[in-house]
Structure 1
Amino acid sequence: MSQSISWNRSLFKVSPFLVAFAALVIGAICSLVFAESASAHGYITGPASRAALCNQGINKNCGAIVYEPQSLEAPGSYPAGGPADGQIAGAGAAFPELNAQTADRWSKVNINSGSNTFTWKLTAAHATREWKYYITKTGWNPNAALKRSDFELFCSFNDGGKKPNPSTSHTCDVPARSGYNVILAVWEIADTPNAFYNVIDVNVNGGGTGTPTDNQAPTVPAGVTASGVTANSVTLNWSASSDNVGVTGYDVYQGSTLVGTSTTTSFTVTGLAADTSYTFTVKAKDAAGNTSAASSAVTAKTAAGGDGGTTAPAWSASSVYTGGNRVTYNGVVYEAKWWTQGETPGKADVWKTV
């Protein structure tokens, strides 16, 4: 009997440690699940959404969304759930500047009623339940905050939980409209209760089909400079171009060779040889495929490489990085695993320590 009591007392003594250990394991599992759930991000690049045009510098005074147009996330199951009326464009209160609504507050993208293709750029794809597209009803008030009753559904796609491609497009028939309207696109995630919300400010031509002919190229990127020069990389920055419809990105050239594309006004060229001079130019492009003339050339010479090429430019929240790009943050060198912008090294899974 005394042996049994002693054994039970031992169990009682050990059990708090077991409980603590179990709590740690559960916490770790929950963290992994949350990290996976939170990894889904994306936004519409064509026709360019309100957030995309903020990111490109075409829409002004946009707040923090310029750094993370992919982050318009809020509770899903719209319209039963989702952001409150008046906060639909900003996916809630996190990006309040986007919720401002007047007839002339935002740049417009020209489209025709009828068949149009909507393209999402998914910076981290995720299991998807449904894609839904709404448009403002005839007679809506463009000078009042956007609310559910302003919109009607015109297109939807059920993905059944599958994981979409990084670039996902849907072709829909836009209802007959004329002039300024707002299209609301909703990406419903399958394994979280959230969704992503994007609004597109459009000028609709009631006749014809698809996007009107656009033969006007964007203006030439100005003020190209080189900074953050290391033994194997150079960071380029420039001023935003303008366009009659909207700039969708910039092509970066090393001599006559295309070395990368950016949706912002910054790009880091990597894989360069140490102690070597390189010449770079930048061209702007729009959704119709028009490309500007090349910018003025900028020449930069990489460092001698005495550190073995491990030096990297300082991380910038406004710069776009792709897989393999290296940055320095708080004295530590990090390397991007995939496309990222605005995600802090050491705090986001997209970065690994070099």
Structure 2
Amino acid sequence: MIQTRNLLNPFKNVPFLAAFSMTLLLALISLVFAQQASAHGYIEAPQSRSYKCKLTTNINCGAAQYNPHDQEGLKGFPAAGPADGQIASAGKASYAALNEQSPTRWDKVTLNGGANTFTWHLTAQHVTTDWKYYITKKNWDPSQPLKRSDLELFCSVYDGGAKPPQKVSHSCNVPTDRSGYHLILGTWDVHDTANAFYQVIDVNLINNGSGIQLPSVPGNITSIVQTLNSITLNWSASTASAGISYYEVFRNGALVGSPTSTSFVDTGLQANTSYTYTIKAVDNNGNKSAASAPASFTTNNGGGTTAPAWSATQAYLGGAKVSYNGFIYQAKWWTQGETPGVAAVWTKL
């Protein structure tokens, strides 16, 4: 009987079919808009500031770590576009961390002046008006937020509404009349919207005759003093034309200190444990050397015991244990007033 009623009443399911069709239509419309909204991209070579955030070479980047392709703002730079001081973030508050600017805030790409290739990675291809590249002027101040007056155009590629591939590369001649820390701004103007994408690249620009020397790699890492819970490191000084600002000390790959001298005491360690260290030098322009060769050192073994601190006035019998300057010592015979580590009566455990 159910089948008979359905056959006799063919329009009974029309409301359901209409609702299903409307849902399908809305889904298709949403998909179209989603494809348009996902038309994003970033400069992957030389690595842009936001792409380095994705790679965690740059840290404390906020949302840019997860969305290096989303710095989208009004197009028409420099006449329009994001406000001065907000250029790196394309004026979007969620990426405000990218606007922070100092000589040492961001990791830099070493770049030679002259012919260079700039490659964009597009998470969705979008018809394009043009691509433009700007560089900071000779006298720009790297301690101030980036503004229009800091920049000058050096390369432009016109697409006239063409749809680009996923990887887009442009050959441009980077100016050879300046050296040191500079910013390169790449803009991608979308043809059928009012928006553009903005990418900042931090570069250490090198040109022939510039005399720029990047930080040399720290060498000769030694440790003369080890205690139960600390290791004292020393190394040979690095050199750079801009002068050395500080060093970065890494223990087992993690940054543990930034001393300004060629010595560092690493504390809070476990007894009788080996640790491996590497060191980088950072110059006054924020350029970093490569990591030093690794060097491993071991904290002292306390024998699994605790011992009272040595006292110069107390008498000790043979076999007594004391702690002194982070070491455990055992007396060979009766002693008083003889300093552990100096007098022969004491054996370091």
TM-score, L = length of structure 2: 0.52
User: Who is 1:47 aligned against?
Assistant: 46
Contact 1:115 1:173 in 2 (8 A): yes
Following the alignment from structure 1 to structure 2, what is the Cα–Cα distance between the partners of residues 36 and 191? 14
Matched, 1:97 2:102: no
SS in 2 for 1:97: helix
Alignment RMSD: 3.6
1:35 shift after superposition: 2.7
Following the alignment from structure 1 to structure 2, what is the Cα–Cα distance between the partners of residues 64 and 32? 24
Contact 2:41 2:69 in 1 (8 A): yes
Following the alignment from structure 1 to structure 2, what is the Cα–Cα distance between the partners of residues 79 and 97? 21
Following the alignment from structure 2 to structure 1, what is the Cα–Cα distance between the partners of residues 165 and 200? 21
User: Who is 1:197 aligned against?
Assistant: 198
1:163 shift after superposition: 1.0
Deviations 1:234-292 (A, max 9, x none): xxxxxxxx999xxxxxxxxxxxxxxxxxxxxxxxxxxxxxxxxxxxxxxxxxxxxxxxx
1:81 shift after superposition: 1.4
SS in 1 for 2:123: strand
Contact 2:118 2:170 in 1 (8 A): yes
Where has structure 1 moved over 6 Å in runs of 4 or more? 24-30
Following the alignment from structure 1 to structure 2, what is the Cα–Cα distance between the partners of residues 119 and 243? 29
User: Who is 2:174 aligned against?
Assistant: 174
1:26 shift after superposition: 11
User: Who is 2:61 aligned against?
Assistant: 62
1:150 shift after superposition: 0.6
Matched AA of 2:80: G
**Rg larger in structure:** 2
Contact 1:136 1:151 in 2 (8 A): yes
SS in 2 for 1:135: strand
Following the alignment from structure 1 to structure 2, what is the Cα–Cα distance between the partners of residues 154 and 77? 16
User: Who is 1:297 aligned against?
Assistant: none
1:177 shift after superposition: 1.6
Alignment of 1:151-190 (within 5 A): 151-175=151-175, 176-190=177-191
User: Who is 2:267 aligned against?
Assistant: none
Following the alignment from structure 1 to structure 2, what is the Cα–Cα distance between the partners of residues 207 and 149? 27
* CA distance 1:124–1:103, shift in 2 (3 Å): same
TM-score, L = length of structure 1: 0.51
User: Who is 1:76 aligned against?
Assistant: 75
User: Who is 1:351 aligned against?
Assistant: none
Alignment of 1:1-354 (within 5 A): 31=30, 34-92=33-91, 93-175=93-175, 176-207=177-208
Contact 1:75 1:82 in 2 (8 A): yes
SS in 1 for 2:47: coil
Contact 1:37 1:191 in 2 (8 A): no
Following the alignment from structure 2 to structure 1, what is the Cα–Cα distance between the partners of residues 156 and 97? 28
1:25 shift after superposition: 12
Percent of residue pairs bearing the same amino acid type? 54
Structure 1: segments with no counterpart, 5+ residues = 1-23, 209-215, 224-241, 245-354
SS in 2 for 1:70: coil
Matched AA of 1:71: D
Contact 1:112 1:206 in 2 (8 A): yes
Following the alignment from structure 2 to structure 1, what is the Cα–Cα distance between the partners of residues 31 and 280? 43
User: Who is 1:7 aligned against?
Assistant: none
Following the alignment from structure 1 to structure 2, what is the Cα–Cα distance between the partners of residues 25 and 168? 35
Matched AA of 2:47: A
